[in-house]
Amino acid sequence: MEILQPAHWPRPKGYANGVAASGRMIFVSGMIGWDAQGQFALDFVGQVRQALKNVVEVLAEANARPEHIVRMTWYVVNKDEYKSAYKEIGRVYREIIGTHYPAMTAVQVAALIEEAARVEIEVTAVIPAK
């Protein structure tokens, strides 16, 4: 995997401007903050934690790990809630994903399909060719 960072641009914090990769591609549907029993974490950061854990669990089904993630898209229902939790989200992200920062996009949406969901995270990963 190659991080794409124009030399004259400031370094992004918590994501990469671009990533180039080749190998086996894994596409993970949007994961929300509920556990295997369908129970939601009550707070926003708790939902982020559970959604990231769900991403890692699906990746494991393909023998992929967090460092194979090349792109993440975050859908949030309230951008202010997301922005005010940056520090806590960063801590949770590093706890579950580590210090690997793929290309990332975050967008505010009017609603998610599951009423109680506050965040949905979609991932593309690439396991390098051997």
Q: Which two tokens stand for residue 79?
A: 């951008």
Average pLDDT of the chain is: 95
pLDDT for position 85: 97
Question: H-type helices in 5-117, by residue range?
Answer: 44-61, 79-84, 86-96
For residue 130, pLDDT beyond 80: no
3 state DSSP class of 104: strand
Total-model pTM: 0.93
Residues 43-101: tens digit of each pLDDT:
999 999 999 999 999 999 999 999 999 999 999 999 999 999 999 999 999 999 999 99
Question: H-type helices in the chain, by residue range?
Answer: 44-61, 79-84, 86-96
Q: Residues 123, 69: contact at Cβ < 8 Å?
A: yes
Which CATH number does 15-128 carry?
3.30.1330.40
pLDDT bracket for residue 111 (50, 70, 90): very high
